[in-house]
Structure 1
């Protein structure tokens, strides 16, 4: 029988005993499950939790995972496909969630990982509302869904502020639907930790539209996001005018020191499949939507740094090959991110010259 390496045996012994591993640079992740107090739960009423990797207490990644969205009896049904707790539309509990199976930016043993030394808080969405909601919706006599994503997410923010009070750098990374709320959470982090440099990196929601019907019927009436948001996030905006691109605008106006950036594949059909009905064209031009949103955000006086890769791929942050191999116009994504979080002057925008799949 092959002998288990001594380091792994020591790690297992520490985990079993309830102790945490001493952190050194380039060590593999060890996760701790955290169950917050308060009215936190998933869509089906089950327990909500998030995960922590304790490393450098001065540098923290707040990772807002995707998990899909829903807003009616069909899309919000508690049905599972291959993974328990996950339907074709969204994750309705955490039964199938496991941050240990992630790679990409979660491979902290790699020398070219810009986040290798960071502590992590991994927050998954299990409420179908992109970390934004605070409402209980009865979609049928047998289906009541707890859209409590904002309640869950802000509980993780409170934990961040309490356990990392001296953080100097916080990077809010949002994946797909998790990136929809990333700028709002970035400003909320800055409110709680005013001495920290806060960077927001949203991935793959650049095409989500600012459409009055979506803003009113889904964000406001279904998820309760408009009423749940802090005052500055909705300041001067009616519910119909408070859309996803405005999240970036409101956050940037709230804290001009926020460094805000996005990543998108130009024609990723999965990144915005839920909201294409509120876009122009059939099918819509996703790159045109991305460009239109960025133009509107920057016209409001907010700097949005961007990296747009060609094609219709999906998945970047937790995919080993995509995260480390993506290169556009001679600039590697990981190098661009490192410059984004480490340099006083954020990097130039990177955009594919030929963006078609």
Structure 2
């Protein structure tokens, strides 16, 4: 049995041994969410219960939504401070992170919503590791953080495979830190549902650098990501050769049928401040360099870059109003998930 299949089967066991399902309720916009509590090793950073949310609609078309929630990598940023499981740096429990019937892509009453009729699995991060970790990290004698984002995320992924086995279209949508791992999850979806057309749309992580220090000190030493993520050895590169931009390369090479797309604001202030220790040049410079490197490796990455220093996308009306060079973002997304992937759009 390969390491990848063993990991997925373990996740499947975690997903199927559900601790419970509860309805969040129906609102004026018609969304109904069910809270799914996996068993097994799934947990949040403080060891508390992890859960994800399901909106059941068309069983053939599914959005796997990897929410943001911040990241941490030392005793200061990973401390369990703040209220309701949220600190200034990351969400360390699942309290208060349930989906709401917001505007943006979660308003399923809009005719121009590309995902209006899709089923949703809404997976929030509560582990500070961008859905990538699998380690208990002791930052101080008093602070041990359960970086179990990959365990939690693959439990939701296995639930998707088990409950939507006939899915023909799956869109993995990653928000901010959630978009870091989106291409990996896209590749895993394609492995589990080989008959489905899989699209990956990652928003607002285009400026994460491929920096040896970040890769070694955070991805590996802090989060244990290299021991968790699938060992897709492509052209001699194993998991330990991956940095965040290379997640797109490895996923695209692992499965050339994946449709890969990303969105960024050109000068997102959160990306600039969060990644300052490892980045050089402006946010747009890093975004452009990353995309150039990905495509130079032979992987097509469809991109939409909006001007300005904005932040936030999916829960806001701007999801529908953003337009660059006469191309609306939702029109571009329609094409991305359709049969004619769009041309790149930039400021």
TM-score, normalised with respect to structure 2: 0.90
Deviations 1:169-198 (A, max 9, x none): 000000000000000000000000000000
Task: Report the Cα offset of residue 239 of structure 1.
Answer: 6.3
- Local SS of the residue matching 1:222: coil
What's 1:168 paired with?
168
User: 1:182-232, CA deviations, whole angstroms, 9 ceiling, x for partnerless residues?
Assistant: 000000000000000000000000010000010011001110000111110
1:336 to 332, 337, 343: 332
Is 1:112 the counterpart of 2:112? The answer is yes
Q: Secondary structure at the match of 1:128?
A: coil
In structure 2, distance between residues paired with 1:215 and 1:19:
39
Query: How far has the Cα of 1:275 moved from its partner?
Result: 1.6
State the shift of 1:345 in Å.
Answer: 2.1
Cα deviation per residue 1:300-327 (whole Å; 9 max; x = unaligned)?
000000000000000011112x101000
Counterpart position of 1:349: 344
Kept in 1, the 8 Å contact 2:172–2:186? The answer is yes
Deviation at 1:27, TM superposition (A): 6.4
Which residue of 1 is the match for residue 66 of structure 2? 64
Sort the Cα spacing of 1:185 and 1:258 in 2 relative to 1 into closer, same or farther, 3 A: same
Q: Per-residue CA shift, 1:287-344, capped at 9, x if unaligned?
A: 0100000000000000000000000000011112x101000000000010011112x2
Shift of residue 49, structure 1, vs aligned partner: 0.4
Q: Is the 8 A contact 2:52 2:124 kept in 1?
A: yes
Question: What residue in structure 1 maps to residue 316 of structure 2?
Answer: 319
Between the aligned partners of 1:275 and 1:235, the Cα distance in structure 2 is: 29
Q: Secondary structure, in 3 states, of the residue corresponding to 1:253? A: helix
**Structure 2 unpaired stretches of 5+:** 1-21
Whether contact under 8 Å (2:44, 2:92) holds in the other structure is: yes
Q: Deviations over 1:8-61 (max 9, x none)?
A: xxxxxxxxxx88999xxx962100000112100000000000000000000000
The change in CA–CA distance for 1:61 and 1:208 in structure 2 (over 3 A counts) is: same
Is contact 2:266-2:284 (8 Å) kept?
Answer: yes
Q: 1:241 to 1:273 in 2, by over 3 A?
A: farther
Q: Which residue of 1 aligns with 2:302?
A: 305
Quick one: distance in 1 between partners of 2:175 and 2:187? 17
Aligned to 1:36: 38
Count of residues in correspondence between the two structures: 325
Query: Residue in 1 aligned with 2:126?
Result: 126
CA distance, structure 2, for counterparts of residue 303 and residue 189 of structure 1: 19
Q: 1:146 to 1:21 in 2, by over 3 A?
A: closer
- In the TM superposition, 1:1-357 aligns within 5 A as 28-80=30-82, 83-232=83-232, 236-237=236-237, 241-280=241-280, 284-320=281-317, 322-342=318-338, 344-352=339-347
What CA distance in whole angstroms lies between the structure 2 residues aligned with 1:302 and 1:270?
Answer: 27
Contact 1:249 1:297 in 2 (8 A): yes
Counterpart position of 1:9:
none
* Contact 1:184–1:233, Cα closer than 8 Å, also in 2: no
For 1:318 and 1:61, locate their aligned partners in 2 and report how far apart those are by CA, in whole Å: 15
Shift of 1:238: 6.0
Q: Tell me the distance in 2 between the aligned counterparts of 1:234 and 1:258.
A: 15
Please give the alpha-carbon distance, in whole angstroms, between the structure 1 residues aligned to 2:84 and 2:25.
30
Change (3 A) 1:324 1:146: same
The worse-fitting range, judged by mean Cα deviation, of 100-109 and 295-304 is 100-109
Contact 2:226 2:240 survives alignment (8 Å):
no
* Aligned counterparts of 1:303 and 1:233: Cα–Cα separation in 2: 19
> Does the CA-based 8 Å contact 1:69-1:274 persist in structure 2?
no
Structure 1 unaligned regions, length at least 5 = 1-17, 353-357
The farther-off stretch of 100-109 and 257-266 is 100-109
Quote the Cα distance in structure 2 between the aligned partners of 1:196 and 1:287.
33
> For 1:240-291, what per-residue CA distance to the aligned partner results, in whole angstroms no more than 9, with x for missing partners?
63100000000000000000000000000113532221011xxx30101000
Tell me, yes or no, if the aligned pair for 2:34 and 2:54 is still in contact at 8 Å.
Answer: yes
